[in-house]
A and B are shown apart, each in its own frame.
Chain A
Amino acid sequence: MLPEFELLMPRTLSEALEMLTQAREGVAPIAGGTNLVVDMRGGRHRPSVLVNVAGLEELRGIRRENGHVVIGATTTVAELLEEPLIAEAAPVLWSAARVFANPLVRNRATVGGNLADASPAADTAPPLLVLDAEVQLTSKEGSRWVPLDEFFLGVRQTLRQPDELLTAIRFPVPPSGAVGGFYKLGLRKADAISVASVAVVVEVGEDGTCRKARIAMGAVAPRPIRAYEAEKLLEGRVLTPELVAEAAHLCAEATSPIDDIRASAAYRKHVVEVLARRLLSEERR
């Protein structure tokens, strides 16, 4: 049995924003419910009012707009896989969707819900971080775009205010020379929560030097993080095996993992270095 709550069913975005403003304390949006229903049943989350955003037309769809890819917040992970624009422009995000949960969960789980939930292991976060994504937060007062890197504060903590909805995610369409990859280490091949994950995007010029590097990691810190030092080391240089090894080491240095049921902190630190090295080596080819 789920605990009792009030469920509001807005038909438009402005109705939903009005409801969020009016609601007493303990209001939460609900999209796919794949986190929220489980958390309410387990008693970890006890909202008294839910606002259903799953059906809102304004939050749907994936489109290209002014040099950006814009993803509506209630886009499901399954829809990321079906949309050719994602496979073409952001294979790093497509790869993460491919290993996200399982086909049943993917049909409900939304990208907005994944980011708003702000689990350190949220699988769309590392790819969106390396794509320099921003999230759109909207309240009755208006909208603001926030870099995803600033949106995450800590374990399940974000910049989002209670009267705001995450309405969209956008990132600049990467230049044609950009290549990248995502690797998620779980305890089994499918339907596993990340033990550690790494996403990489690099742009390498004609002369072989790295113009831009982005590396992000999941499940190795209180929030999904970028590896700034490693990125800085790579930019402006040729990706030799030695340089890649050094950068991978800096990735591990940037982490502050924990011991939990899935893995030890020491293992996570080690494995992140291995994954980063592998991904960066693939991009050299």
Chain B
Amino acid sequence: METKVVTLHINGRTHQIALPPNRTLLQTLRDLGYTDVKNGCEKGDCGACAVLLNGKPVNSCLVLAWQADGAEIVTNGGLGDQAHPHVIQEAFADAGAIQCGYCTPGMIVSTKALLDRNPHPTDEEIREAISGNLCRCTGYVKIVEAIKLAAERMAAAKEGR
């Protein structure tokens, strides 16, 4: 298979990498060291591989890397890190919404997309927004609480409270 040089802007850094056509965006991200993007099922079912692709949350396992040539990609790690966590990441930790943590990066990506569009979601809207993200551990209750907490804190920060 012929390779092609693909340009990816990931978490603000630009990568140029030669890839054969059958590489998914998920594999590519992990090979580049963005291992916060998880491989759960590789068939669109679990959402552990979710990233923002040009601002929209998608399953990176269903995107061919060539199709993402030139795109802006943000992973959970691009939102914040241990030293400077994002409000959503902090809320997940504070609410106890993380057990094994495998679903967490994808959950946080879906949460970011939700709160950008809808800063005050109802419980129903939260559940719908994370319906493509499976969690085997928490039973979702604390994840929904974490998302509400994140929404409150983001609103408070905006109002300068």
Contacts and interface: CB of A to CB of B under 8 A. Distances in A.
A32 interface: yes
A191 interface: yes
B24 interface: yes
Contact of A191 (B50, B58, B64, B131): B131
A36 B103 CA distance: 24
Interface residues of B, number: 32
Given A2-B24, A30-B64, 13 more contacts: A2-B22, A4-B22, A5-B21, A6-B21, A34-B59, A34-B62, A37-B62, A50-B21, A55-B67, A104-B44, A107-B53, A191-B131, A191-B132
Interface in B9-48: 20-24, 42-44, 47
A108 B59 contact: yes
A153 interface: no
22 contacts: A5-B21, A6-B21, A9-B66, A33-B62, A33-B67, A34-B59, A37-B44, A50-B21, A52-B66, A55-B67, A101-B132, A102-B131, A103-B110, A103-B129, A104-B133, A105-B59, A107-B53, A107-B58, A108-B58, A190-B128, A190-B131, A191-B131
Contact of B57 (A2, A33, A107): A107
B128 A38 contact: no
A30 B67 CA distance: 10
B88 interface: no
B62 A32 contact: yes
Given A7-B21, A34-B44, A41-B43, A104 B61 contact: no
A105 B44 contact: yes
Contacts of B53: 107
A55 B71 CA distance: 12
Interface string A15-58: 00000000000000010111001100110000000101011000
Chain A interface size range: 20 to 34
Interface string B74-94: 000000000000000000000
Interface of A: 1-7, 9, 30, 32-34, 37-38, 41-42, 50, 52, 54-55, 78, 101-105, 107-108, 189-191
Contacts of A55: 67
Contacts of A42: 43
Nearest to A31: B67
Nearest to A78: B56
A16 B44 CA distance: 27
A55 B23 CA distance: 18
A95 to B, nearest CB: 14
B157 interface: no
Given A4-B1, A190-B128, A38 B56 contact: no
A33 B129 contact: no
Given A4-B1, A103-B113, A190-B128, A37 B61 contact: yes
Interface string B119-136: 000000001110111000
